[in-house]
Amino acid sequence: MSASAVDRDSVRGILLQLLAPVPEDAPPLCDTPVRGAPLLAIAGELVPSASGATFPVVDPATAEVVGEAADASLEDLDRAIGAARDAFDTSAWSSDSALRARCLRQLQDALREERETLRRDLVAEIGCAVRMTYGDQLDRPIEKLGFYADLAGSYAYGTRVGGGEEPEGNWFFREPIGVVAVITPWNIPTELNLAKVGAALAAGCPVVLKPSPLSPWSGAHLGRLVVERTDFPPGVFNVVTSTSNEVAAALTTDPRVDAVAFTGSTATGKKVMAAAAGTVKRVVLELGGKAATVVLDDADLDAVVPLAAAFVCFNAGQSCILPSRLLVPREHHDRCVELAAEGLASVPVGDPADPEVFMGPLISEDQRRRVEGYVERGRAEGARLVLGGGRREDLAPGYFFEPTLFAGVDSRSAIAQEEIFGPVLSVIAYEDEDDAVAIANDTVYGLAGYVWGSDLDRAVDVARRLRTGMVAVNGGSFIGAELPFGGRRQSGMGREWGVAGFEEFLDLKSVGIGFPQP
């Protein structure tokens, strides 16, 4: 099979199948008006910022302002943290697991009922393909929230060492850690907000959420629904949208905050960790990645490589788990480059409101310039630019970028080592299986990995050798409510989802109970 024989329509169809299908009765996105409002959620109320300040929300597909968000100050943050502290110290939230389960169910129901508004606002503020909102960008995280609602009510918070039900003896209890600051990015905001907020709330911890200023409505809607549609006690859940770096920094240093859960770049995560050290806060970090796809020499190259390559365009390449390195046997390097180019050329790029589009724009002009900078670095370092590398001027003024492919990439070069956060794929040749594993592991990151091969035992063995928190073999998925999500090394510490994600916000207490004295 020659590269020219790759059926781009077939690849395009399979790519769209990787995203959730749009229901036949789904209303057109344009029929739902944008609703995002410039309000904070503090102490059980929806309020403007104390100064009345707002900032614009820009649609990356059109570069047009589509609304406003409240621009919180340190004064607003102080009120939010104080409300959360009072809720932890005085309300029943930390002790009443049935209340927590009920309130989280109410929030889940409200999210389901308003999902079309949430869908419209999500596409408007981050430019994700609408098809993604029927999966990982919206509908799936809403359903996954039910896992934490169930866990809040069913988890065994106290366990007698050695078993048994007698009160006497040694016990350990898991108790909520306290007030949790949640700081989230813009790339998959609903998923990331609910992963952290859901776990902390289910564990009994009041939360102050600060979403990215590039996706403020995804957080603000959660605050609105909690206030309008649930029985959450005042102060248990607070949302402060802000463009101020001081506001984010204060969340990491305020002594009233007991833990910080952060998703973002590794560079910023290091700053969060250092700032939190002053008050010895618990820190949960989900940071960058530089995932590799290892295509073994027994894999069906014609079937695997085009799709494995095109996957870098998921969410316009703006996800920490995406495989931006494609490791292929040296003897098949040139053939794999041809197949990868066909796969990337098959990616439907365009208006994110179109259900037949797989890839929308980058989030901002700054992000597009960042990706352009890496393309220039790749060329300067000697990699061969095979496809793309520039703006989609036909889709201006949106922040669109071409699916981009480099071949002959040195595994130690910048484009092979650093997180680009755009639709840029590097093809890297390896000599043998040991060399492939060494190259895959040769970064500071350790978040995700991917392996393809016909011999399943061999593929799983390679997967076990990758020093990452998660690996997908032959198209398997490591995403799910019950599956812990997180990485090793400079990809972070701690986990989201699963029981492990819930327990990040619980502290252990050992209690020894003596026998009654005669």
Give 80-98 pLDDT, tens digit per residue: 999 999 999 999 999 999 9
Residue 257 has a pLDDT of 98
How far apart (Å, rounded) are the C-alpha atoms in residues 256 and 421? 34
The share of the chain scoring above pLDDT 70, in percent, equals 98
Residue range 356-395, pLDDT digits in tens: 999 999 999 999 999 999 999 999 999 999 999 999 999 9
Percent of the chain with pLDDT over 90: 89
Q: Residue 5's pLDDT band (boundaries 50, 70, 90)?
A: low
Cα distances (Å, whole numbers) of residue 28 to 2, 117, 354, 398: 40, 12, 9, 21
Give yes or no for residue 135 having a pLDDT over 80: yes
Please say if the pLDDT value at position 441 is more than 50: yes
Structure-token pair, residue 98: 């049935």
Calpha distance 510→512 (Å, rounded): 7
Virtual torsion, Cα 140, 141, 145, 148, nearest 10 deg: 110
CB < 8 Å & 24+ apart, contacts of 385-390: 386/337, 386/340, 386/341, 387/341, 387/344, 387/345, 388/344, 388/423
User: What's the pTM?
Assistant: 0.94
DSSP line for 363-388: S-HHHHHHHHHHHHHHHHTT-EEEE-
pLDDT of residue 65: 96
pLDDT interval class at 2 (50, 70, 90) = very low
Average pLDDT, the chain: 94
What's the pLDDT tens digit per position in 55-68? 999 999 999 999 99
Distance from C-alpha of 59 to C-alpha of 56, rounded to nearest angstrom: 10
Residue range 299-318: average pLDDT? 95
Confidence class for position 233, pLDDT limits 50, 70, 90: very high
Closest C-alpha among 416, 403, 200 to residue 325: 416
| Rounded Cα gap, residues 236 and 178, in angstroms | 11
The whole-number pLDDT of residue 3 equals: 42
What's the mean pLDDT in 27-34? 81
Q: How far apart are CA 4 and CA 38, in angstroms?
A: 52
Q: 169 near 513, Cβ under 8 Å?
A: yes
Q: Are the CB atoms for 171 and 123 separated by under 8 Å? A: no
Distance CA 232, CA 198 (A): 13
Beta bridge partners of 405: 387, 425
Task: Report how far residue 332's alpha carbon sits from residue 383's, in angstroms, rounded to the nearest whole number.
Answer: 17
**Is the predicted pLDDT of residue 278 greater than 60, yes or no?**
yes
Residues marked active site are found at 286, 320
Q: What phi and psi, each to the nearest 5 degrees, are found at residue 59?
A: -80, 115
pLDDT in tens, 388-425: 999 999 999 999 999 999 999 999 999 999 999 999 99
13 pLDDT above the threshold of 80: no
Task: List pLDDT tens digits, range 101-128.
Answer: 999 999 999 999 999 999 999 999 999 9
d(CA 72, CA 238): 12
Locus of tokens 């700054």: 366
- Predicted pLDDT of residue 20: 72
Tokens read off for 312: 């870098």
What letter represents residue 501's amino acid?
G
4 pLDDT higher than 60: no
pLDDT at 6: 63
Each residue of 165-219: pLDDT tens digit? 778 888 899 999 999 999 999 999 999 999 999 999 999 999 999 999 999 999 9
